[in-house]
Amino acid sequence: MTHRTQVAIIGAGPAGLMLGHLLHRAGIDSVILETRSEAYVVERVRAGVLEQGTVDLMRESGLGERLDREGLRHEGLSIAFAGSRHRIDLSGLTGGRAITIYGQHEVVKDLIAARTAAGRPVHFNVERVVVDELASERPRVRYVQDDASHEILSDFIAGCDGSHGTCRSSMPAAHTQTFEHEYPFGWLGILAEAAPASDELIYSCHSRGFALFSMRSPTITRLYLQCAPDEDLSQWSDDRIWSELRVRLGTEDGWVPADGPILQKSVTGMRSVVTEPMRYGRLFLAGDAAHIVPPTGAKGLNLAMADVRRLASALVSFYVAADDTALNEYSGMALRRTWRAQRFSSWMTSALHRVEHASGFEHRRQLAELEYLVGSRAAMTSFAENYVG
């Protein structure tokens, strides 16, 4: 069966769903294809920190209501090291900007609800997605759903299919370059039914390794521990996880995170990847399909949202004003922001994580770096500007 649309969107993560939403609001038709089930996409636990720009985008596009009701606005965060916690006043240092805690799966839920209300489809559970004719004015997507073959003819394809998707690898190798860096760390993340024992996030640099205290709601705590990239989760009983978290996050004033039943556990490796350019012919990449950042700076989801905001606006200029200037500038502009986020995320990763087999020199250097950060208004301002986005 052959379908026609203006923009074929591959992937129903935050990038693909937000792009479809913004295009719909501008009267531009799209079809979204997703290999996973709706339940899987909605329940996937990932990021939780929304930068001001992402919150603004949600509000401006009519998705602010639940976010404003349930999101937790944070005007500061703490960095812990050598037994003490040091607060960084994000809002005070950035003219009132802040971050908002609102789980990525809540963003995805809101976007799917808006898509459904608009009567526009997300095709879940599709298989064998192939994109081709990318250099022509009629790029084509083929896929299989319920054992039937389908074809979409569109003006553009948006590759929003994440780091393991098909779009990036469909760009001719001679036309693209991929820059990669593997970090020798992973994060063991848990979601726990426990009231957050602090109102704000705590990033901790400890001689036993990095730890992060975060939350999802007034009753749910989200915590991370630095581990090996291929850490075996079966070696981590709930008791072992809590005792390690207490050691790495606890401070001399006696503060430790409150514990409770663990609802979810996972291990994620850490990588930096950037593909240049983010476009080939009529295929545009956005979000994790084009770039991955280590999670330390909380940038992945926010970069994906910044990409699709820019891409949607460029497509609107193309359709409404017959002007392709912004489409031609998309890759260059998005890559500048991406490399800024890579710089900050890799700096934050190296400032806070323990390097296995490093001499005491490395940890002492980190402590000096962090002492400078929390002791200098200029350094804290630079940190706050980068963190809030």
Q: How far is the CB of 372 from ligand FAD (least distance, A)?
A: 25
Residues 145-164 that bind ligand FAD (CB under 6 A): 160-162, 164
Which is the catalytic residue, given 21, 291, 299, 353?
A: 299
35 vs 342, beta carbon nearer ligand FAD: 35
State yes or no: is 265 an active-site residue: no
Beta strand 99-101 with 49-50: parallel, antiparallel or unpaired? antiparallel
**Contacts of ligand FAD in 64-123 (CB under 6 A):** 104
Residue 175 annotated to the active site: no
CB of residue 322 vs ligand FAD: minimum separation in angstroms? Answer: 29
Number of residues that bind ligand FAD (CB under 6 A): 31
The separation between CA 102 and the C-alpha centre of its own chain, rounded to angstroms, equals: 12
> Is 387 noted as a catalytic residue in this protein?
yes
Between 20 and 189, CB nearer to ligand DHB: 189
* 203 labelled catalytic: yes
Whether a cis peptide bond, with omega within 30° of 0, leads into 277 is yes
How many angstroms separate the CA atoms of 167 and 163, rounded?
10
Q: Which residues bind ligand DHB (CB under 6 A)?
A: 47-49, 201, 212, 214, 222, 295-296, 298
Q: Residue 42 Cβ, how far from ligand DHB at the closest point, in Å?
A: 17
Minimum separation from the CB atom of position 320 to ligand FAD (A): 25
Query: Which does residue 287 touch among ligand DHB, ligand FAD, none (CB within 5 to 8 A, set by kind)?
Result: ligand FAD
Q: Taking CB under 6 A as the criterion, which residues in 274-333 touch ligand FAD?
A: 287-288, 295, 298-301, 304
- Asked about 299 being catalytic, the answer comes back as yes
Say which of 139, 196, 257, 295 is annotated catalytic: 295
**From ligand FAD, ligand DHB, none, interface partner of 288 (C-beta below 5 to 8 A by class):** ligand FAD
Q: Out of 21, 24, 74, 353, which one is annotated catalytic?
A: 74
Residues 47-66 that bind ligand FAD (CB under 6 A): 47
Interhelix angle 377-388/360-375, rounded to 10 degrees, is 90
The one catalytic residue in 203, 224, 280, 330 is 203
Q: How far is CA 291 from CA 39, 278, 280, 304, in A?
A: 25, 9, 15, 9
**Rg for the chain (alpha carbons), in Å?**
21
From ligand DHB, ligand FAD, none, which one binds at residue 296 (CB under 5 to 8 Å depending on kind)?
Answer: ligand DHB
Distance (Å, rounded) from C-alpha 347 to C-alpha 51? 18
Site string for ligand FAD, 1-40 (x = CB under 6 A): ---------xxxxxxx----------------xxxx----
How distant, in Å, are the alpha carbons of 124, 286, 299 from that of 334? 28, 9, 14
Q: Which residues are catalytic?
A: 74, 203, 295, 299, 387
Q: Which residues bind ligand FAD (CB under 6 A)?
A: 10-16, 33-36, 41, 46-47, 104, 129, 160-162, 164-166, 268, 287-288, 295, 298-301, 304
